[in-house]
Amino acid sequence: MNKPSGSVAVLSGGVGGAKLVLGLSRVLSDGQLTVIANTGDDFEHLGLAISPDLDTLTYTLAGEVNTETGWGLRDESWRFMEALAQLGGETWFRLGDRDLATHVERTRRLAAGERLTEITRDFCRRLGVATRILPMSDQAVRTRVSTDRGPLDFQHYFVREQAAPEVIGLDYVGASDSSPSDEVLEVLRKADLSAIIIAPSNPYLSIDPILAIPAIKEAIRGTNAPVVAVSPIVHGIAIKGPTAKIMSELGLTASADNIARHYDELLDGFILDSTDGNMVAEIETSALKVTSCDTIMRSLEDKIRVANATLEFADSLSR
Amino acid sequence: MNKPSGSVAVLSGGVGGAKLVLGLSRVLSDGQLTVIANTGDDFEHLGLAISPDLDTLTYTLAGEVNTETGWGLRDESWRFMEALAQLGGETWFRLGDRDLATHVERTRRLAAGERLTEITRDFCRRLGVATRILPMSDQAVRTRVSTDRGPLDFQHYFVREQAAPEVIGLDYVGASDSSPSDEVLEVLRKADLSAIIIAPSNPYLSIDPILAIPAIKEAIRGTNAPVVAVSPIVHGIAIKGPTAKIMSELGLTASADNIARHYDELLDGFILDSTDGNMVAEIETSALKVTSCDTIMRSLEDKIRVANATLEFADSLSR
């Protein structure tokens, strides 16, 4: 198999993206892979700094994720939550007893002046995660959802309201004035960069907040490495989460071709699911190569298979 | 039995004082008893506002206290702590999974502008505690311990260093500029006040921080109600904690008479343990009546017995 020999960057949200990231981490050597993670979902809750996508990625790569939900820790307990309910605290965002340590310690270190990038690196080290996970920025960028019930902070929309309100639009508050960390820029500008992969995450909720940071989009536009996205829409259905629902609410048909169109000029390659193979010719242009494979990732073998397919495809596109 | 018919205020620290408070709560009717609790032990840890004595009192009266330790919750688990250790967090101050809800929710409400007095009242209501527990102040007063190893914040001295350093002196930082809450002053100035009881808590670490608030000391000096202290020293030994050790380090013999002398002109009555009965005549003056009883409180019956003895003694002193 022809895989990139240089470094690989992947843009990812939480659960869906973490599957491909896990596959990539098993295929590439330590130090070769860097994840640039969405922090538009981050929020302060109960006075704690919560970074859902960073944690899902970290827990997944540490082998500690709850495999039933795809987020949170396995072997979790909920005694804090029960006691909080007794005291009348807010319980719509579930924080497990073990998971809570991550939020308390992150909050403490942020308050002490550490950067989120450094804290995440240290957590990874302590949990035995060799893959580098970088928050997209150390500055606050917050996804705000305009809905038929008014504007909602992301987690209020996504968790408290269970993505039920109709989405009218999305804002990435703070993005246009924000900068990526030096680490993110360095990765995207690396001379040996072999591929930039956009994971099969929700484009609107997980990838667009990353791309909304001007210097990140500019770096991706300026790279010589092939930029490849994996479709999160399979045969009109989102594998995970409300992608299809949101697309419909935004007046778009939930289909792989609309995902390709969404990323548009950023992409050199696009991978869709075999069941959407009929769209390959339709989407492909002289500037955008398209391929198909079985993109459903249930087992670890699936994840490794999709990772290999993605890397080989990227390698075939390298200039 | 002659018990006070009016309201009763008790100054208390944590574990030791909470025993007498529990007894008093079973003897007096709801609304008759108010606890004025030491908050000189309060500190911020892991970004959380921790109030050890308030919590010990609340948990004790709620029947939720860990009866083996006298503090913390019964039926507690430590999964947060284990996860925190894995992340390299500070673990010298043990926070149980259930207990943590109290600190997180208190911290959140303080940040939202609620007073500690209001938060404590609400926690008591939710945990079914009918006795009123008032923090001595809504302002920060912090016990600082001067030791042979330098100055230490109270919990650093008491928990992290396990009260091992030699005590040279004590400061109640912020006390002289602080005010009690309106609720505390109202209780101490009540027309029907029948007794002010100083619980058998550590005088230096638990009661002096309360008395260091000028308006509290003044209110106690000015009251017509009898002021009665119960000795925490029994036959030269502190029932709980480092009282005897501290007295020795401060150049005092750890004996009941030195406790009486410590509170000096504030007291109308002093209760020492039967084993120290020989000191009664020695300590008693025209201004200070002294009595003895079995002050060891193991069972609930013990606590009720000492509570009754204290109330009867106070009643006998009422002017």
User: Mind spelling out the 3-state secondary structure of A90-107?
Assistant: CCCCCCCHHHHHHHHHHH
Give the pLDDT band of residue A3 (cuts 50, 70, 90).
confident
Over residues B229-243, the mean pLDDT reads: 87
Over residues B246-263, the mean pLDDT reads: 93
The answer to which of B208-212, B238-242, B300-304 has the lowest mean pLDDT is B238-242
Report the share of chain B in percent with pLDDT over 90. Answer: 92
Q: How far apart are CA B262 and CA B249, in angstroms?
A: 15
Specify the 3-state DSSP secondary structure of B150. strand
Size of interface A-B (CB pairs under 8 A): 102
pLDDT over threshold 90, residue B4: no
Facing residue for A122 by CB, picked from B83, B88, B105: B88
- Interface probe for B, chosen from A104, A107, A127 (most Cβ of B below 10 Å), is A104
User: What is the pLDDT of chain A when averaged over all its residues?
Assistant: 95
Write out pLDDT tens, residues B61-73. 999 999 888 889 9
pLDDT over threshold 90, residue B1: no
- The tokens 């206290």 sit on which residue? B65
Over residues B153-164, the mean pLDDT reads: 92
Residue count of chain B:
319
CB-CB under 8 Å, B97 with A48: no
pLDDT at residue B70 in the model:
85
pLDDT at residue A4 in the model:
78
- Interface probe for A, chosen from B80, B123, B124 (most Cβ of A below 10 Å), is B80
- Interface probe for B, chosen from A79, A82, A91 (most Cβ of B below 10 Å), is A79
CB-CB under 8 Å, B108 with A89: yes
B7-317 CATH fold = Rossmann fold (3.40.50)
Q: Which residue of B has its CA nearest to A82?
A: B98
Distance from CA of A109 to the nearest CA of B (A): 9
Write out pLDDT tens, residues B31-85. 999 999 999 999 999 999 999 999 999 999 999 999 888 889 999 999 999 999 9
* Per-residue exposure over A211-249, b if at least 16 CB sit within 10 Å of its own CB, e if not: bbbeebeebbeebebbbbbbbbbbeeebbbbbbbebbeb
**A83–B contact, CB cutoff 8 A:** yes
The answer to which of A117-126, A193-202, A242-251 has the lowest mean pLDDT is A242-251
- With beta carbons under 8 A apart, name residues in chain B contacting A108: 46-47, 89
Over residues A11-38, the mean pLDDT reads: 96
- Interface probe for A, chosen from B79, B102, B107, B129 (most Cβ of A below 10 Å), is B79
Q: How far apart are CA B66 and CA B60, in angstroms?
A: 8
User: What tokens appear for B62 in the block?
Assistant: 């709620």
User: What is the pLDDT of chain B when averaged over all its residues?
Assistant: 95
User: What tokens appear for A174 in the block?
Assistant: 């703070």
Number of Cβ within 10 Å of residue A176's Cβ equals 11
CB-CB under 8 Å, B97 with A77: yes
CB-CB under 8 Å, B122 with A101: no
pLDDT at residue A82 in the model:
97
CB-CB under 8 Å, B107 with A86: no
Complex ipTM, two decimals? 0.91
Residue count of chain A:
319
Write out pLDDT tens, residues B93-103. 999 999 999 99
**B102–A contact, CB cutoff 8 A:** yes
Write out pLDDT tens, residues A198-244. 999 999 999 999 999 999 999 999 999 999 999 999 988 877 788 89
A29 secondary structure, DSSP code:
P
CB-CB under 8 Å, A89 with B83: no
Write out pLDDT tens, residues B191-201. 999 999 999 99
- With beta carbons under 8 A apart, name residues in chain B contacting A119: none
Distance from CA of A152 to the nearest CA of B (A): 20
**B98–A contact, CB cutoff 8 A:** yes
CB-CB under 8 Å, B104 with A89: yes
Q: Where do the domains of chain B lie?
A: 7-317
CA angle B292/B295/B299 to nearest 5° reads: 150
**A100–B contact, CB cutoff 8 A:** yes
**A102–B contact, CB cutoff 8 A:** yes
Are B34 and B196 a contacting pair, CB within 8 Å? no
Distance from CA of B16 to the nearest CA of A (A): 25
CB-CB under 8 Å, A102 with B83: yes
User: For chain B, percent helix, then strand, then coil, each to nearest 5?
Assistant: 40, 20, 40
Distance from CA of B195 to the nearest CA of A (A): 32
Facing residue for A83 by CB, picked from B79, B82, B101: B101
The torsion angles phi and psi of B210, rounded to 5 degrees, stand at: -70, -45
pLDDT at residue A44 in the model:
96
Q: Which residue of B has its CA nearest to A44?
A: B108
The torsion angles phi and psi of B153, rounded to 5 degrees, stand at: -60, 150
Give the pLDDT band of residue A319 (cuts 50, 70, 90).
low
Classify the C-alpha dihedral B59-B60-B62-B68 as positive or negative: positive
**A46–B contact, CB cutoff 8 A:** yes
Q: Report the helix count and the strand count for chain A, using DSSP H and E.
A: 13, 14
- With beta carbons under 8 A apart, name residues in chain B contacting A101: 80-84, 86-87, 89
**B44–A contact, CB cutoff 8 A:** no
pLDDT over threshold 80, residue A85: yes
